[in-house]
């Protein structure tokens, strides 16, 4: 058989693995060729020999490609004549750093790929099959490989067992069936939707408002790991806004038939364009190398972590699945898939760095939160709600995709990030916990609301962490409770950490050193001179933690108990809206735990207390806006 024929024969076949030796740090280790790539990555193999005159140039070309395709492809130099030390020396001599340099253990192994002349290139696809062999045109063949794989992925639309049934039901839904009045805005029929539109209209901003003068200096002071995560974040955001924009233009804005919602979608599309422009400007500002900049702009094709998130969203951009499924999915896109990145950038603000990036992050995260809330509102208005397990699958899928992205983009724990409180978590693990909390908030904001909000919270926590075990520790002190956890339980341990933080604060303010020695059920029931329980303390001001409120209720506190002035925990939370950016999460959690928003405190129900606070701080836009969001939640549920 001719040499080229032998090489061509393996194309399309499952790649044959081979044993390699790698020399590093004076030690030689054995690895398998196919184990060198991450799941979803392609593999480019360059068979060479140190004496081959053409091999150095071929290896240097792979080194250049490795810089551009490092997230999508692994590049390996395999020495066929010499050992691991010779392979390492060859790489060092020719400045090869990004490619793995190794040698074959079995000198006959390269024959499996038809190697008869050097250099010889083999491209193995993410599916483990040989895509090109010997006659390889790089990088053209890599682009062909990746574009082929993406086209195949997009051919499979998302569809569940209930999709067809709900598509039939939706034909008669008031907000989806053809509306002859959709051309005219007034008279208004859906005031809640209109208020959301006006709220978005009032928050308009432009990319020109972002001052990037200081950012270049700060960018130079970030270490390699910190720059890595910022690049991933910006690359995803630059692409994702285009995905959301296309979905709105091609799907939702034409499917929803009420003019109030179409007004919102029109404004949302304008803002998504501004978001995309802003992220593109940030990439141009920070990344000076044109090649690297092109990789980031084309992240959907060049960065696996970004591609997976984008593909998750794209699979819901079709009408094979029902509108109800797709609106929940895009609530998850805006409420969950963006959350880890927003969280990580907030950490930079805590350090006083990158003011242009962090200010734009504040504006965009506010917008995306509003978009997620609007998706939840539209879902609430549908006549037919999805079965809970279908929504479980959608939310769980979004959380898993975000988990993978965080583990890649935050591959290093950034110094100091895990020392803050939500949303200033930051090691990959802590950021993922924050994502899980937001998944609960998407749930509680309406994506799967039932008449039993307490049941909703319990079910959601069964997906993302369960602290019910704390209920059995009522008779233990805090120290003993930690020892009595029956199994490793990160969430229960974290709830106890948050409880300890609160108890320290309360013990100091009350001068009560015995709080630590009491059984937990007794400790949480103690009241200060103002009649506040620990639940009142946890509900006001800066929210103490995402699991703390439930832990206090599990330990026996009445979620509607009153302090000496007759105020409930919910009233405390509502009244603190001017000073706490996270009070909205606390309010939603309290209501999910059974807090009654109709109980009056000093003659005012919680929503009215928030309205009073908003009126009082009308001169201060940030405080006013925080209170406005709380008022809207009590009034309309979003």
Does 234 share its domain with 137?
Answer: no
Predicted confidence (pLDDT) per residue in 549-604, tens digit: 888 888 888 888 888 888 888 887 877 766 655 666 777 778 777 888 788 777 77
Average pLDDT estimate for 2-30: 80
Going from the C-alpha of 414 to that of each of 38, 399, 461, the distances in angstroms are 23, 21, 28
pTM of the model: 0.52
- Domain boundary residue among 111, 130, 147? 147
Estimate to the nearest angstrom the gap between the alpha carbon of 459 and the chain centroid: 21
Does 124 share its domain with 254?
Answer: no
**Averaged confidence pLDDT in the chain:** 76
Domain contains 440:
no
Does 9 share its domain with 142?
Answer: yes
- Domain boundary residue among 90, 112, 147? 147
| Catalytic-labelled residue, pool 279, 379, 464, 638 | 279
Does 128 share its domain with 234?
Answer: no
Per-residue pLDDT at 447 exceeds 60: no
Per-residue pLDDT at 346 exceeds 50: yes
Average pLDDT estimate for 396-402: 80
**Percent of residues, the chain, with pLDDT higher than 90:** 10
**Percent of residues, the chain, with pLDDT higher than 70:** 77
Does 264 share its domain with 389?
Answer: yes
- Provide the pLDDT for residue 622: 58
Q: Is 82 exposed, middle or buried (0-12, 13-18, 19+ CB in 10 A)?
A: middle
Domain contains 525:
yes
| Least confident stretch, 152-156, 189-193, 257-261 | 152-156
Average pLDDT estimate for 503-522: 77
- Domain boundary residue among 95, 121, 147? 147
Per-residue pLDDT at 456 exceeds 60: no
Please report, for the domain that includes residue 245, its CATH number. Answer: 1.10.620.20
Domain contains 593:
yes
- Provide the pLDDT for residue 324: 86
Task: Write out the two tokens for 114.
Answer: 């038809």
* CA–CA distance, 353 with 332 (Å, rounded to integer): 29
Task: Write out the two tokens for 94.
Answer: 């020719």
Let me know: does 200 contact 266? Beta carbons within 8 Å.
Answer: no
Q: How many domains does the chain have?
A: 3
Task: Write out the two tokens for 323.
Answer: 């509108």
Does 519 share its domain with 391?
Answer: no
The whole domain housing 71 covers 5-147
Does 269 share its domain with 369?
Answer: yes
Does the active-site annotation cover 508?
no
- Phi, psi (degrees; rounded to nearest 5) at 147: -65, -35
Let me know: does 579 contact 537? Beta carbons within 8 Å.
Answer: no
* CA–CA distance, 150 with 76 (Å, rounded to integer): 24
Full DSSP string of 280-322? HHHHHHH---HHHHHHHHTHHHH-HHHHHHHHHHHTTSSSSS-
């Amino acid at each position: 058989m001719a040499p080229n024929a032998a090489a061509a024969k393996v194309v399309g076949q499952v790649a044959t693995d081979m044993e390699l030796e790698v020399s590093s740090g004076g030690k030689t280790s054995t690895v398998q060729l196919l184990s060198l790539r991450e799941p979803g990555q392609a593999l480019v193999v360059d068979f060479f020999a140190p004496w081959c005159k053409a091999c150095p140039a071929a290896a240097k070309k792979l080194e250049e490609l490795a810089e551009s395709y490092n997230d999508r492809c692994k590049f390996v130099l395999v020495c066929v004549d010499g050992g691991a030390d010779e392979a390492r020396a060859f790489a060092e001599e020719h400045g090869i750093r990004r490619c793995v340099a190794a040698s074959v253990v079995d000198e006959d192994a390269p024959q499996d790929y038809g190697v008869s002349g050097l250099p010889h290139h083999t491209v193995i696809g993410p599916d483990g099959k040989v895509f090109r062999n010997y006659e390889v045109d790089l990088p053209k063949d890599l682009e062909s490989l990746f574009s082929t794989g993406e086209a195949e992925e997009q051919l499979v639309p998302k569809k569940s067992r209930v999709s067809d049934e709900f598509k039939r039901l939706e034909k008669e839904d008031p907000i989806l069936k053809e509306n002859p009045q959709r051309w005219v805005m007034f008279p208004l029929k859906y005031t809640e939707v209109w208020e959301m539109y006006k709220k978005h209209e009032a928050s308009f901003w432009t990319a020109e408002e972002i001052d990037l003068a200081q950012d270049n200096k700060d960018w130079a002071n970030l270490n390699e790991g910190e720059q890595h995560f910022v690049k991933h974040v910006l690359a995803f955001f630059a692409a994702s806004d285009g995905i959301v924009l296309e979905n709105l233009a091609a799907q939702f804005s034409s499917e929803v038939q009420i003019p109030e919602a179409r007004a919102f979608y029109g404004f949302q599309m304008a803002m998504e364009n501004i978001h995309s422009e802003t992220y593109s400007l940030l990439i141009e500002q920070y990344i000076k190398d044109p090649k690297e900049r092109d990789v980031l702009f084309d992240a959907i094709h060049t960065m696996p972590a970004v591609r997976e998130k984008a593909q998750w969203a794209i699979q819901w951009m079709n009408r094979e699945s029902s509108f109800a499924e797709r609106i929940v999915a895009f609530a998850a896109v805006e409420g969950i898939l963006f959350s880890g990145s927003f969280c990580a950038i907030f950490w930079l603000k805590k350090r006083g760095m990158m003011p242009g990036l962090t200010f734009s992050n504040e504006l965009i995260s506010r917008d995306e939160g509003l978009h997620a809330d609007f998706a939840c509102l539209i879902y609430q208005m549908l006549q037919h709600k999805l079965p809970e397990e279908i929504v479980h699958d959608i939310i769980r899928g979004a959380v898993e995709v975000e988990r993978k992205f965080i583990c890649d983009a935050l591959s290093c724990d950034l110094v100091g990030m895990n020392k803050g409180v939500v949303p200033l978590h930051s090691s990959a693990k802590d950021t993922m916990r924050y994502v899980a909390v937001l998944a609960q908030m998407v749930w509680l904001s309406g994506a799967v609301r039932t008449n039993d909000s307490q049941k909703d919270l319990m079910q959601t926590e069964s997906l993302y962490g369960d602290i019910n075990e704390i209920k059995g520790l009522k008779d233990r002190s805090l120290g003993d409770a930690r020892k009595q956890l029956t199994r490793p339980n990160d969430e229960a341990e974290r709830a106890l950490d948050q409880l300890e933080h609160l108890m320290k604060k309360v013990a100091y303010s009350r001068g009560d050193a015995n709080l630590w020695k009491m059984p937990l059920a007794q400790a949480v029931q103690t009241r200060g001179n103002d009649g506040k329980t620990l639940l009142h303390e946890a509900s006001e001001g800066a929210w103490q933690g995402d699991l703390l409120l439930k832990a206090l209720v599990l330990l026996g506190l009445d979620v509607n108990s009153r302090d000496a002035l007759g105020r409930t925990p919910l009233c405390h939370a509502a009244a603190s809206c001017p000073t706490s950016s996270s009070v909205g999460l606390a309010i939603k959690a309290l209501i999910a735990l059974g807090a009654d928003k109709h109980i009056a405190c000093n003659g005012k129900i919680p929503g009215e207390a928030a309205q009073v606070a908003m009126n009082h701080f009308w001169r201060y836009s940030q405080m006013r806006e925080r209170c406005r969001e709380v008022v809207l939640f009590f009034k309309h549920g979003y």
